């Protein structure tokens, strides 16, 4: 981790969509001052529709890998932000130097309908996460 930047860990259940999106957005738009990471309470795969929604705004998260909070061991973060209610309830203790926050976002992976309708939900959640990040860290 770059010690001149504030560190931020985004946590959701599977580290497959919301937390990955938040990591990509913060690093892309505010990477000069913050270094973002993401993890889940469980490990899965990054959702292809999350990758696609991010690619549409010029951010490539296709190389991101899902990981659990255990991956970071005892590392301290300046901010720990849970982005889903389940992670907030199940999240183990993660050392933080500054703030622990909870930002609740709809689970885009639960979207139903056509591929276009599902993608629209990923886009909506991406935009909501970006707005929250810009308002808080901008």
What confidence score (pLDDT) does residue 85 get? 77
- Residue 12 bears catalytic tag: yes
What is this structure's pTM? 0.92
Domain around 64? 6-137
Q: What percentage of residues in the chain have a pLDDT greater than 70?
A: 89
> Average pLDDT for residues 77-98, to the nearest whole number?
73
> Average pLDDT for residues 58-70, to the nearest whole number?
96
Active-site position among 8, 11, 12, 50: 12
Are 20 and 87 in contact, with CB atoms under 8 Å apart?
no
- Residue 18 bears catalytic tag: no
Does the structure show a pLDDT above 80 at 93?
no
CATH for 88: 3.40.50.2300
C-alpha distances (whole Å) from 99 to each of 21, 81, 87 are 20, 8, 16
- Residue 84 bears catalytic tag: yes
**Residue 1 counted as domain residue:** no
Does the structure show a pLDDT above 80 at 22?
yes
Active-site position among 53, 84, 87, 121: 84
**Residue 79 counted as domain residue:** yes
Q: How many domains does the chain have?
A: 1
Does the structure show a pLDDT above 80 at 95?
no
List of residues 6+ apart from 33 with CB closer than 8 A: 5, 6, 137
Active-site position among 91, 121, 125, 129: 91
Q: Residue 90 burial by CB count (10 A; 0-12/13-18/19+): exposed, middle or buried?
A: middle
Task: Identify the sign of the CA torsion 50, 67, 42, 13.
Answer: negative
């Amino acid at each position: 981790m770059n010690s001149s930047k504030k560190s931020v860990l985004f946590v959701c259940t599977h580290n497959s969509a919301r937390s990955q999106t938040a990591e990509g957005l913060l690093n892309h738009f505010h990477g000069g001052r913050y270094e973002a990471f993401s993890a889940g309470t469980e490990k899965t795969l990054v959702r292809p529709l999350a990758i696609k929604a991010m690619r549409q705004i010029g951010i490539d998260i296709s190389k991101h890998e899902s990981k659990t909070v255990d991956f970071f061991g005892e590392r301290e973060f300046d901010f720990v932000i849970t982005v889903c209610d389940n992670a907030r309830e199940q999240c183990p203790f993660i050392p933080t130097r500054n703030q622990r926050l909870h930002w609740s976002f709809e689970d885009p992976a639960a979207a139903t309908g056509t591929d276009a309708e599902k993608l629209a939900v990923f886009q909506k959640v991406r935009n909501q996460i970006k707005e929250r990040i810009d308002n808080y860290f901008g």
